[in-house]
Amino acid sequence: MASIFCPPDPIAVDPACYADGDSYPYDENSDSGTSSLDSLVVTHILENGRRYHGFRAGRYLLPNDKPEQERLDLLHHILRQVFTDTYTAPLSTLKPLRRILDLGTGTGRWAIDTAYAYPSATVMGIDLSPIQPSWVPSNCSFEIDDLESPWTVAPGSVDYIHARGLSGSIREWPALLAQAHAALRHGGCVEVTEVVAEMAPVGEVGREYELLLAAAHERAGRRLGVAEEVPGWLTEAGFVNVAERRGRMPVGKWPLLPAMKELGKLYKEVVLAGLEARAVAPLTRYLGWSKEEVEVLVGNLRREVGERGAQRCGRVVSWVAWKA
């Protein structure tokens, strides 16, 4: 189905907007949670007021605490609207559809929705962080594992693999996609979805922020901004018929169309909540910044994002490719 969030039509601007009053969308102390100290020590790391995964610590640079989980869930909701579905792969043509993997499942929202939608399939979500709910459909399960280690799934045993939001996490994309290709059966498919621009255009502070993040991820050996290389890597891994879909998310309530305006309001929350989440570990761990310096940068960027008149959009791309 066509989506108003997919190009090429320009987004009509509502001149009566630009009255956004931002408020920081989460309670900084909500992280205290109900976890016992023991489980927190074993499974998570607390750093600069945020919580990070403890298994294979340091691999992933974003937090895994409640505010970040809420940000991921909101983005999941937004992306379903942008692509008018939970998938960009044509699942009605994928038969049989018995075994599904979700790489870097995060809170598991996508995996749970998919398990409900396909009750005769089994869906397994894999992540470094144990942040998935325990009450899930019986055909859904989660495994805490590192995608960059050799996979234990039997070759040729999977029908469909989903990977979303892994940019900046993966050292060797070709190796990851080669493992996905080996795990799939002939005729199976992989879907890779990435937000390729959080927001554009960016102002002066936004440009500085992006350069710093890119430099820190480069030092970490997990480059950002590699998503546009995915189609080439898919082909190199042996996939065929690579198809691409693009979508966009307005940042704020500037669009005229009510559906766009609503989506823009939500996506702006995602962008604002992501400013600190995306920066604090990269800049403190790899560029020697203090938490306070990060806070100043993030504060300046929040002001820039809140400026009236900028019709900013985020861009998302999804690729589907097949194992011949």
Ligand X SMILES: C[S@@+](CC[C@H](N)C(=O)[O-])C[C@H]1O[C@@H](n2cnc3c(N)ncnc32)[C@H](O)[C@@H]1O
Name the residues that contact ligand X, by CB under 6 A.
Answer: 53, 59-60, 72, 76, 104-106, 110, 126-129, 146-148, 164-166, 169
In whole angstroms, how close is the CB of 182 to ligand X at the nearest point?
17
**What is the smallest separation between the CB atom of 18 and ligand X, expressed in angstroms?**
29
Distance CA 235, CA 242 (A): 8
Give the CA-trace dihedral at 34, 38, 44, 47, to 10 degrees. 90
Judged by CB, which is closer to ligand X: 202, or 270?
Answer: 270
Reported as type and span, the H/E element at residue 183 is helix 173-183
Record the tokens describing residue 3, joined without a space.
């989506």
Q: Any bridge partners for residue 321, and if so which?
A: 190
**Shortest reach from residue 162's CB to ligand X, in Å:** 8
Nearer to ligand X among residue 221 and residue 299 (C-beta): 221
The answer to whether the beta carbons of residues 211 and 280 sit under 8 Å apart is no
Exposed e or buried b per residue across 290-324, where buried means at least 16 C-beta atoms within 10 angstroms of its C-beta: eeeebbebbebbbebbeeeebbbbbbbbbbbbbbe
Of 120 and 134, the one with the shorter C-beta distance to ligand X is 134
Least distance from C-beta 253 to ligand X, angstroms?
24
The structure tokens listed for 52 are 């990070």
C-alpha–C-alpha distance, residues 229 and 120, integer Å: 34
Judged by beta carbon, residue 104 or residue 188, the one nearer ligand X is 104
For ligand X, the closer of residues 132 and 159 by Cβ is 132
Q: How far is the CB of 303 from ligand X (least distance, A)?
A: 25
Q: Pick from 272, 294, 270: which is nearest to 282 by CA?
A: 294
Nearer to ligand X, 201 or 221 (CB): 221
What are φ and ψ of residue 29, in 5° steps?
A: -95, 0
